[in-house]
Structure 1
Amino acid sequence: MSTRISIIGCGIIGATIAYELSRSTNECQINVYDSQPPAQAATGAALGVMMGIISQKIKGRAWNFRRDSICRYQTLLSELEQATGSKIPVNSQGIVKLLPPEEDLSKWTQLAAIRHEQEWKLELWNTRQTLANLPQLDRQFRGTAVYSPQDLQVDPVALTTALVAAAQLNGVNFHFDRSIESIEAENPDCCELLSANLPNITCDRVIVTAGLGSTTLLAPHAPIEIQPVLGQAVQIRLAQPLGNPAFQPVIVSEDVNIVPCGGNDYWVGATVEFPVEGVMVADPVCLELLDKIAISTCPDLAKGEIVRTWQGLRPRPNHRPAPVIDRVGKNQRILVATGHYRNGILLAPATARIIGDMLLV
């Protein structure tokens, strides 16, 4: 009899796990449950910037996650496009992180050397090189930059949609009108998913990837507290591309991302804000600061038209490192993969691999 696996949540994490499991085994019946269409919560508000090689992480779990995911993305994107016939917008021209004049460059020089030993690329640009490579920058810029040509940016909604479509081709069933309210795991042989006014769902394994909803679902089984962190972004449309049309990397300045997203459009985000008195709301002041930083970095952004603004809540674990990937419950039949904070897109493939390994034990 095949193993019945239920995945709760269909953001980038749930969709990637479903797809990777559907590739690796024919002995599982996989069902994915969500109360809304895929990529509607944190994934839908993400910018898809994958800061892997440019990260200061150099060893241990945090670096291994990034390395493994970047390696998998080198084959995953084309694999999905071939399977589904859909195009996934990807910026493969890398990430440039701008550094202020007072920045201590020794840590970046050391990181570049380490990345070279690890067979990855990382370049340090002086002020002249930075302005030459990025003519869209304010000409008063006097800092330096780090360029990571192997880091990526991908449209998170298109990627998640492709993962769902490819997983469906492999036999995964998706249920986008099914809200799971609780998990019963007292039976040592199975789990029950409870949903209002609908029959219970019996399965052998449950994988919770519900982001902020994970805390409530897991409360009877494990005290995993996930805190919402607000991100805000705008989409700006220009009459022509910034700088050199042939070189359009993601630019990161003061924790603000300027992301080319096709044509003459750019996404600008994302601020990081914590709730005030337990309430999480969009903050116009922070949105104005976002615009101010972006325009001071690339003045021509001021000539553009804001065609969209959006906000999203990122799931950040309290009192433990992100992400949370673990077994919970008395019979260990519940697995959790949540709380990826700002790195859900980046870490999705590595998360799926770890969950797959855990299911084998």
Structure 2
Amino acid sequence: MFDWLIVGAGFAGATLAERLASVRGERVAIIDRREHVGGNAFDERDAAGILMHRYGPHIFHTNSDQVFAHLSRFTRWRAYEHRVLARLADGRLVPMPINRTTVNRLHDLSLTTEGEVEAFFASRAEHVPEIRSSEDVVVSRVGRELYETFFRGYTRKQWGLDPSELDKSVTARVPTRNSNDDRYFTDTHQFMPLHGYTAMFGRMLDHPNITVLTGTDYRAVRDSLPHRRLIWTGPVDEFFGHRHGRLPYRSLRFRHETLDREWFQPVGTVNYPGEEVPFTRISEYKHLTGQVHPQTTITTEYPAAEGDPYYPVPRPENAALYKRYEALADAVPDVWFVGRLATYRYYNMDQVVAQALATFRRIEAEVPPRAANDGRFLAAAGE
């Protein structure tokens, strides 16, 4: 009899498994239908010995001291500030997010102050009475030309929808800057796990109270693996048998290549915003990991409508459908729904960890630890 069955061994599931096992001393079974732990952050050495991410690049960044301190229990870090360039149709490479350097290169200008850049943006911006869509966010800030150059094609490829059809939150994730700061993120803590994500997950789950079962589907073991409570980190609509219909997700296909050269591109990721190519970006892992190797491995990303669910699609009708599933989830006793797929939110890794830690605090407040209930549990289990 396990105290907890956790479905999904990504950030949400692993964080909760470790807390429940180490703090409450409870027995946890954590399962994943994939053959490994780590979820989409899983990394491994390929045939050439290069550490790469099977499901595309994962760059850790957070402003949360709590999240950073928690994960630091399980890994040492390598300082890394991610930089992204956009390759335009004419072959030029310019910084992304848009900054002063981007504007100067595109328009052959020599703006030198933040005020000058703000004035440039203001001269191009369009008045939008009510900002509702992703298109509105960008054109109201920097105008239609920069929107067409950097956002429209990329968004159409990534989401299969025009930015005018997507919630404003999508492009609001990508800032525009009036300085020369070319870092993709500006968070306080920007690091990569020194020995990789998989090694970090291995340490999180290395506890005598935790049983890890990979290559295991929940439906195959839910009746044969006795447990008292459940934590679900998979798609919420799947848990309920798609009772109200399927929640839309975007997927990705990856093409991994090892090249017989030391470097392929000047930064970790190069975006391809134009619709003249079917992919959105190419990432090169040695920039992220600091590994020294005579060869290099790159990953090209192709957005897809079908496949593993990666991104909830932020549209009003999808949010309304999720609310129906959320009502079902709230009514199920002894089941907690945690993570990007279970709560249908476009979370970063640190936000998932923060949500998992908050869920653990809720459990601490609401669920007496097993030691206080052993008599009742044993009687209920017939032991």
Q: Where on the TM-score scale, by shorter chain, does this alignment land: which range?
A: 0.5 to 0.7
Equivalent of 1:225, from 244, 247, 252? Answer: 247
Q: CA RMSD in A?
A: 4.7
1:37 aligns with 2:35: yes
Superposition map of 1:130-209 within 5 A: 145=182, 147-148=184-185, 150=187, 152=190, 154=192, 158-169=196-207, 171-176=209-214, 178-181=216-219, 194-195=222-223, 199-203=224-228, 205-209=229-233
Superposition map of 1:48-67 within 5 A: 48-50=57-59, 67=63
User: Contact 2:15–2:357 at 8 Å: present in 1 too?
Assistant: no
Equivalent of 1:314, from 310, 330, 348? Answer: 310
Equivalent of 1:273, from 279, 304, 310? Answer: 304
The residue type equivalent to 2:222 in the other structure is L
Partner of 2:73, secondary structure, is helix
Return the structure number with greater strand share: 1
Partner of 1:19, secondary structure, is helix
- Name the count of aligned residue pairs: 257
Cα displacement (A) at 1:228: 4.7
Q: 1:178 to 1:231 in 2, by over 3 A?
A: closer
Separation in structure 1 between the aligned mates of residue 355 and residue 206 of structure 2, nearest angstrom: 20
Alignment deviations for residues 109-139 of structure 1 (CA, whole Å, 9 cap, x no partner): x9xxxxxxxxxxx97665xx9xxxxxxxxxx
Alignment deviations for residues 328-358 of structure 1 (CA, whole Å, 9 cap, x no partner): 2534321112426775534331231132133
Separation in structure 2 between the aligned mates of residue 41 and residue 226 of structure 1, nearest angstrom: 20
TM-score between both structures, scaled by the size of structure 1: 0.53
Cα displacement (A) at 1:15: 1.9
The match for 1:355 is 359
Cα displacement (A) at 1:32: 0.8
Cα displacement (A) at 1:207: 0.8
Separation in structure 2 between the aligned mates of residue 240 and residue 49 of structure 1, nearest angstrom: 21
Cα displacement (A) at 1:35: 3.6
Separation in structure 1 between the aligned mates of residue 319 and residue 195 of structure 2, nearest angstrom: 28
1:259 aligns with 2:284: yes
Separation in structure 1 between the aligned mates of residue 303 and residue 73 of structure 2, nearest angstrom: 33
Partner of 2:74, secondary structure, is helix
User: Contact 1:314–1:342 at 8 Å: present in 2 too?
Assistant: no
Alignment deviations for residues 95-114 of structure 1 (CA, whole Å, 9 cap, x no partner): 34523637975799x9xxxx
The match for 2:16 is 17
The match for 2:74 is 80
Unaligned runs of 5+ residues in structure 1 are 53-65, 83-87, 111-121, 130-144, 183-192, 281-311
Separation in structure 2 between the aligned mates of residue 354 and residue 223 of structure 1, nearest angstrom: 29
